[in-house]
Amino acid sequence: MLEIKDLSYIVDSEDGKKTIIDNISLTIDDGKFTVITGPNGGGKSTLAKLIAGIVKPTSGSILLDGEDITDMSITDRAMRGISYAFQQPVKFKGLQVFDLLKIAAGKERNLKVNDACTYLSEVGLCARDYINREVNSSLSGGELKRIEIATVLARGTKMSVFDEPEAGIDLWSFQNLTRIFENMRKDIKDGSIIVISHQERILKVADEIIVLADGKIVNQGEGANILPQIMGTNSAVRPCSKLGEEA
């Protein structure tokens, strides 16, 4: 279980101090597929980075299963079971897909080729065509996204955080991405999945939706109850926005 208590994130700007996350508190239970949505500039991606440890809060605390991880590094949080998938997946020139999956799985698991192929198949990629490919610019945005998700699956972490997974991919790739999330939701057991998104098809997968605007939680609840409330409201979510548009 993830607990966020009185969390704030304030940065310096040309106009003085700017509050990005404004004293929010929330709990994300295990076994849930949670989508955090809201208008551009509302603080969604910043909240994801705070959970992952990429940025540090100005005040407040973050607890994972009762343990305070507020001051922990990205590495320490990863060791405790938090995975983070970037809006734009990182490219690794000279590193093959199989090697990347082995690194993600960790030395103790000693990932085999058959295991790697299974993870690639789960994200809709033909293992034979991708297992020895370099993770570089020869891969499309959609391919990189799916390979990144395969690394998250290979890690088998307790909490997986996806920041705007639809950014920079085409419609066909997005449709496949949605199916992957639908399958991941079915397989959730003790862990949880957090997705930052304003796409309707991803919102429909959610067990719980959290609406963030101006750094504050303005709505939260079961997906089936919250989605009808926010559909068509420009202030909360833009489900018809173009794929790849920045949030």
Name the nearest CA neighbour of 230 among 205, 207, 199: 199
- Average pLDDT of the residues in 168-184: 80
pLDDT at 61: 97
Instruction: Say which CATH class 2-246 falls into.
Output: alpha beta
The yes-or-no verdict on residue 244 having pLDDT over 80 is no
**Structure confidence at residue 240 as a pLDDT band (50, 70, 90):** very low
Least confident of 40-44, 175-179, 219-223: 175-179
| d(C-alpha 181, C-alpha 88), whole Å | 18
Least confident of 23-37, 182-196, 206-220: 182-196
Domain boundaries, the chain: 2-246
| d(C-alpha 153, C-alpha 10), whole Å | 33
HEC string of the chain? Answer: CEEEEEEEEEEEECCEEEEEEEEEEEEECCCCEEEEECCCCCCHHHHHHHHHCCCCCCEEEEEECCEECCCCCHHHHHHCCEEEECCCCCCEEEEEHHHHHHHHHCHHHCCCHHHHHHHHHHCCCCHHHHCCCEECCCCCHHHHHHHHHHHHHHHCCCEEEEECCCCCCCHHHHHHHHHHHHHHHHCCCCCEEEEECCCHHHHCCCCEEEEEECCEEEEEEEHHHHHHHHCCCCCCCCCCCCCCCCC
Phi and psi (nearest 5°) for 173?
-65, -35
**Structure confidence at residue 169 as a pLDDT band (50, 70, 90):** confident
pLDDT at 149: 86
The rounded mean pLDDT for the chain is 86
Are 173 and 141 contacting, i.e. CB atoms less than 8 angstroms apart?
Answer: yes
Segment 13-45, tens digit of pLDDT: 888 899 999 999 999 999 999 999 999 899 999
Segment 85-136, tens digit of pLDDT: 887 777 888 899 999 999 888 877 788 888 899 889 888 888 889 999 999 8
CA distances from 139 to 88, 92, 145, 199, 214 (A): 13, 11, 10, 24, 36
